[in-house]
Amino acid sequence: MKEPFIATEQINQAFRDLETRPTPAILQALVEDQLRAVEAVQRALPQLVDAVEQAAERMNAGGRLIYVGAGTSGRLGQLDASELPPTFSWPRERAVACVAGGREALWRAVEGAEDDLEAGKRDLLALHPTHHDVVIAIAASGTTPYPLGAVGAAREVGALTIGIANNPQTPLVQQSQIGIVLETGPEVISGSTRLKAGTAQKIALNAFSSALMVRLGKVYGNLMVDVQATNAKLLARAVRLTVAATGASEAQAKAALEACEYRVKTAIVMIEKGLDAPAAQALLNRVDGNVRRALAVGP
């Protein structure tokens, strides 16, 4: 079988003199090359749309987002998973990550871990995946054994598999039900896919998970109304969001938030519908936490 061409590992001839350039020119080269990351994600928008819509169906059925990767790709998956609970009040147990080499690999490279196909299978199966889950496997090369092992195990149990790679026609893209190619080409520093390949992955993951949360009713308009207000900055943000959503005064917004443990959605419904906190929360529960639908319910 013919080996796929891995463009991300090729030597970029345009920068063979990189270390001889002055610092401003080195930085200019590195920054300008990042623009290709945005272009790569834009080309992949149709596949991202498919991923969001299919994932939403699984999440509505109670499924989990399971990110899988090695090295930079694994860390980016872990980052996306860890940011969903505070940003959207997404349950922590429903956004998890498998990183080749385990938790230690989040801050220190674990040599050889990415080459273990069986470990990818074991780590995924240890989470007891079901057909409601969505497995997002990430690898710049598209050939890394660890995420490939996880994809194989996920497909056996009927989970939705999304493969994100920076090279086309690679096993990760071909073996996943939805293959997302972020074709970024060779790096300024040859083979260092933490550069624009990693940037493209970060953009794609941000866009995927954020759009998914919008589809799941975690946003009202463009307001982050499911934020967990756990510090002074976020408490102030909750007040601003409530004011923006309702037109209430800052004092009214703060009073409503204090009455409902700073749940922005509940405060919005309280103010707009003239309800107390328990009644507003009960109404939200009836409509799966969707603010717009709650506000549309008649008196």
Tell me the pLDDT tens digit for each residue of 191-236: 999 999 999 999 999 999 999 999 999 999 999 999 988 899 999 9
- pTM for the model: 0.93
Known catalytic residues are 83, 114
Residues 275, 145, single domain; the answer is no
Residues 178, 246, single domain; the answer is no
Residues 157, 282, single domain; the answer is no
What's 279's domain CATH number?
Answer: 1.10.8.1080
Largest distance between two CA atoms of the chain: 72
The domain of 126 spans 7-215
* Residue 30: per-residue pLDDT: 97
Residues ≥6 apart with Cβ < 8 Å to 118: 149
Q: Which residues of the chain have pLDDT under 50?
A: none
Residues 27, 170, single domain; the answer is yes
**Burial of residue 88 (number of CB atoms within 10 Å: 0-12, 13-18, 19+):** buried
Strand partners, 160: 134
Residues 73, 177, single domain; the answer is yes
* Residue 299: per-residue pLDDT: 66
> Does the residue 35 lie in any domain?
yes
* Residue 1: per-residue pLDDT: 53
* Residue 175: per-residue pLDDT: 97
Pair of tokens at residue 240: 């601003």
Cα radius of gyration rounded to whole Å, the chain? 22
How far apart CA 193 and CA 182 sit, in angstroms, is 12
